Chain A
Amino acid sequence: MAHDASTHHDDHDHKPHGFVNRWLYATNHKDIGTMYLVFSLVMFFLGGLMAMVIRGELMFPGLQLIEPEFFNQMTTMHALVMIFGAVMPAFVGLANWMIPMMVGAPDMALPRMNNWSFWIMPFAFTTLLLPLALKVFFDIGGGGPAGGWTLYPPLSLQGGDSVAFTIFAVHMMGISSIMGAINIIATILNMRAPGMDLLKMPVFVWSWLITAFLLIAVMPVLAGAVTMLLTDKFFGTTFFSATGGGDPVMFQHIFWFFGHPEVYIMILPAFGIVSEIIPTFSRKPLFGYKAMVYAIASIAFLSFIVWAHHMFTVGMPLGGELFFMYATMLIAVPTGIKVFNWVFTMWKGSMTFETPMLFALAFVILFSIGGFSGLMLAIVPADFQYHDTYFVVAHFHYVLVTGAIFSVMAAVYYWLPKWTGRMYNERLGKIHFWASAISVNVLFFPQHFLGLAGMPRRIPDYNVAFADWNLVSSLGGFAFGLTQLLFAYIVWDCSRNKSLAKATDQVWEGAHGLEWTLSSPPPYHSFTTPPVITDSMLAHGNVAH
C-alpha cells in the first residue's frame, strides 16, 4: 500500500510484540474483541457453575447441598454474572470484531477508550465477586449479595459488607458499558467507508447502533438507582423508605426503567446476528431490510415505556396497570415483523444447514416461544398468577439462553473461520447444536409447568408436588452444562489446530458483506484505506426500494 512508508505509527500489519504490549496496552479492535469474547466465555462458565449449584439443590425436595442464604447468593450472582459478564461482553466483543470490518473502517473510532472499556470489566467482576469468594474460599465475611439481581430495597440493604462492593462494581460496569457504547456509535456514524450509507449497513450494525443508544440512555439510570441505595444504607437518606416520605416501590420504577431496556440490550444484537446468518444460508437477501431496521428502532422506543410490567403486583393505580399492559403487548408487533421476515427470507431460498444456521433457526423458534410467554406475562390479571413463579423463570431463560446465548453461539460459528482462518470441526459443531437444543428444552420447558402449578421463584426448597419436574429440569440442566464444554473445545480447537481445513475469504457460499472481502484471518488493521463498495458486497442486495 502506497502510504505505508509514512504511517507506521503502529507497526502496521505487524502485531505489537510481547504480551503486555499486545494485550494490556491493546488498541486493536480484533485483539480487544477477542479479549471480550474470552472474558465472556469465562463468565458464562462461572455463571453456569452457579446455575448448576442452583439446579443441584433444586433437584430434590429438602435441602441437600447448601443453606438458603447461600442459595440466594447463588441466584443473585448467577444472574449478575450472566447478564453483565457473559451476554453483554459477548455482544460487545462481536461488535468490536465485526463492526469495523462491516463498515469498512481500519479500527474502532476511539481505540484507547476501547481498551479501557474492556479492562474495567475483569476488575469490576473482581469487585463484585470478592465478598462471595472470600466467603467460599476463606470463610471470611457474610458472602455475596443475596437480594436477587434486582437489588430491591429494603431487602438488598440488609446485606452486609457485600452491598457496597456490589454497588461499586455496578458503577464500574456502567462506566465500561457507556464507554463501549459511545465507541460503537462513533465508529458507526463516523467511520463508514464512502458508499456505506446508513441504510446500506448490515442489520447487525444497525442493531448495535440502536443497542448502544439504549446503553447510554439506561446504564446511568442504573448507576443513579444504586447510588441511592448506597446513600440509603450509609448516609441516612430515605429515598426508599416511607418513614421519611420515600417509597420502596420507587426503587423498582427506577430500576426497571433501566431493567427493561436492558433486556432488549441483550436481544437486539441477537436479532442483528440472526439477520446476517439466515440470508447467508438461505442464499437469498434479507426480506424487508428497511422494515427490519424500523422494527428494531420501534422495539427500542417501546422499551422505554413498558418498565412497570415487572411490577404489576406492587399495587399500581389501575390506569398505570392498563397503560403498561397495552404498551407491553404492542412490542409483539415489531418483534413479529422480525420473525415473519426471517421466515420470508427462507421462503424460496436455497437452504443449507451448517451449525451457525442451525443455531439461528433454533433461535427463531425458541426465542418466539419465550416471546409468547412474555406476551402472556403482559396480561395483567394473568400476571397476578404468573408473577415471581417459575413461569417467569422459564420465560426469561427462553429469551436469554435460547435467545441471546444461542445467537452468540451462532455468531461464533459463523465468524470463527473468518477470525482464525480455519474451518471449525463441523461434525462436532452439529453435535454441540443438537445436544444443546434438546437439553435446553428439557431444562427450561418444564419450568413453565412448575410456575403454573404454583412454584415461586427464588426458593431453595419446595413441596413434593413440584419434585418431578424439578428433577427433569435439573437433569436437563446438567446435560446442557456439560454440552457447553464441547463448545469450548471446538473454539479452542479451531484457534489452535493447524491441521484443520483453511477457510476461504468468503467462507460461506452465500455470504455477502464487506467482512467477507477481507482475507481469513483478516489483516491486523481491517481497512487501512476505505474500500470501494459495490452492491454485490452488501449483505442484503437490492435495498434501493
Chain B
Amino acid sequence: MKQIGMGLSRIGIATAAMAFSLPGMAAVDRWKLNMTPGVTDVSQQVYDLHMIVLWICVVIGVLVFGAMGVAMFRFRKSRGAIAEKWAHNDKAELVLTIIPVLILISMAWPATKVLIEMADTRDAEMTIEVTGYQWKWGYRYVDSGVSFISSLARDSDDTRQLGSGLDPHSVKNYLLDVDRPLVIPADTKVRFVITAGDVIHSWWVPALGWKQDAIPGIINDQWTLVKEPGIYRGQCAELCGKDHGFMPIVVEVKPKAEFEQWLAAQQGANAGAEPVATLAEPVAAEAAPSQG
C-alpha cells in the first residue's frame, strides 16, 4: 500500500513534469504518429509498403463508410424512406468479390519482392552473433572474436524502479540506452545470426526495418546495410519475463575506418579477458528451471 501511495504522488509529479515540458523537450519526438522510414534501403521499402497498404485501406474505408453514411442519411424512416424488397444482386456480388482480389494482388506483389530481398543474407561482409539473455544482449563479432554484453544503462535502471522517485523525463533516452552499444561499420552488409540463451527474445531496431526472434537452440539470420553513421535504438520485442521492458538495443554505426579502429581497440582490451560465453551454451534447455 505504501508503494501505491508513493506511486500516486509520482503520478502528480509526472503530470506536472509533462505540463511543463510540453513546449520544451525538443529532443524527444512526441505525439509521433507513423512508422519510421528508417536508415536502410530495406527499411525504406518496408515503410513504402506500409504506406501503400495504409492508403489503400483508407480509400476503401472512405468508400465503404461513405456509402454507409449516405444510406444512413437518405434511407432513414424519419425522412419517410420506404423499404424496398430486393435482397440480392448476383452481379454486384461478383464484382465486389473480384475487385478486392485484384486489390490484394496489387499489395501482395510488392510485398513478395521486398520479402525476397530481405531473406537474402548472401555476400555479407561480416557476421555478428546476437544472443538474448534475461535481460541483456550478448554480441560477438564472429570473425574477430570480440564479444561483450550490453545491458540497460545505469541511470535508466535506477529511475525505472517502482517508487524510485526519479523522473523519467530527466533521463536522456530513458529505457533506450545501454552501457555498451553494438558498433557496426557504415556501408557494409552486416549479417546477424540471432539466438538466445534462456527464453525467446526478439532483436528489434526500427530504423533497420525488421525484428527477428532470438530462439534458444536455433539460429535465425538477418542482415542490414546502413549508409549513414549514427546511433539507432530499439528494444527486445518478445515477452521474456519480468524485465522484458528493460533490455534495450543501441546500434552505433561508425564510418568504416573508425569502426576498424574501434574493433582493434576492443581486440586489445578483450585479449586476456574472459570471452563472453555466448550461445552454443547448450545448457539452454535448462530453459525451464522450475522454481517450484
Contacts and interface: CB of A to CB of B under 8 A. Distances in A.
B201 to A, nearest CB: 10
A287 B88 contact: yes
B235 interface: yes
Interface string B92-130: 110011001100100110011011101100000000000
Contacts of B238: 388
A146 B34 CA distance: 30
Interface stretch (B138-146, B182-190, B204-212, B258-266): B204-212
Contacts, number: 353
Nearest to B111: A379
A388 B284 contact: no
Contacts of A449: 31-34
Interface string B159-182: 111111011110001111000000
Given A349-B75, A368-B64, A333 B49 contact: no
B50 interface: yes
A350 interface: yes
Interface in B70-92: 71-72, 75-78, 81-89, 92
Contact of B285 (A243, A463, A540): A243
Interface string A491-525: 00000000000000000001000000000000000
Given A155-B199, A368-B61, A452-B34, A285 B87 contact: yes
B115 A376 contact: no
B206 A454 contact: yes
A122 interface: no
Nearest to B177: A463
A471 to B, nearest CB: 8
Given A157-B290, A325-B111, A346-B68, A454 B36 contact: yes
A350 B11 contact: no
B60 A372 contact: yes
B273 interface: no
B277 interface: no
B236 to A, nearest CB: 7
B83 A462 contact: no
A543 B86 CA distance: 10
A459 B221 CA distance: 25
A224 interface: no
A350 B83 contact: yes
B64 to A, nearest CB: 6
B82 A350 contact: yes
A388 B28 CA distance: 23
A430 interface: no
A346 B71 CA distance: 6
Given A72-B242, A375-B57, A467-B18, A233 B174 contact: no
B8 interface: yes
Contacts of A234: 290
A339 B53 CA distance: 19
Given A244-B285, A325-B108, A385 B115 contact: no
B244 interface: yes
A142 interface: yes
Contact of B85 (A146, A284, A289, A468): A284
Given A158-B241, A462-B175, A283 B77 contact: yes
A142 B86 CA distance: 61
Interface size classification for chain B = 35 or more
Contact of B87 (A64, A68, A369, A541): A541
Interface in A228-284: 232-234, 238, 241-244, 247-249, 282-284
Contacts of A157: 287-288, 290
A297 interface: no
Contacts of A63: 7, 160-164
A213 to B, nearest CB: 24
Given A68-B242, A242-B217, A248-B217, A284 B88 contact: no
Contacts of A333: 97, 100-101, 104
Given A241-B217, A283-B83, A68 B243 contact: yes
A380 interface: yes
Contacts of A14: none
A154 B199 contact: yes
B110 to A, nearest CB: 9
Given A68-B242, A351-B72, A62 B204 contact: no
Interface of B: 3-4, 7-8, 10-11, 14-15, 18, 25, 28-36, 45-46, 49-50, 53-54, 57, 60-61, 64-65, 67-68, 71-72, 75-78, 81-89, 92-93, 96-97, 100-101, 104, 107-108, 111-112, 114-116, 118-119, 159-164, 166-169, 173-176, 198-200, 202, 204, 206, 209-213, 215-218, 220-221, 234-246, 282, 284-285, 287-292
30 contacts: A60-B10, A60-B11, A62-B164, A62-B167, A64-B8, A66-B162, A68-B242, A68-B244, A72-B239, A147-B239, A154-B216, A233-B288, A241-B216, A241-B288, A243-B282, A247-B217, A289-B87, A313-B202, A352-B76, A368-B65, A379-B50, A381-B49, A382-B50, A385-B35, A385-B210, A389-B237, A454-B206, A460-B245, A461-B168, A468-B18
Given A318-B116, A337-B93, A349-B81, 9 more contacts: A60-B14, A66-B162, A153-B287, A158-B291, A283-B77, A325-B115, A368-B65, A385-B209, A387-B211
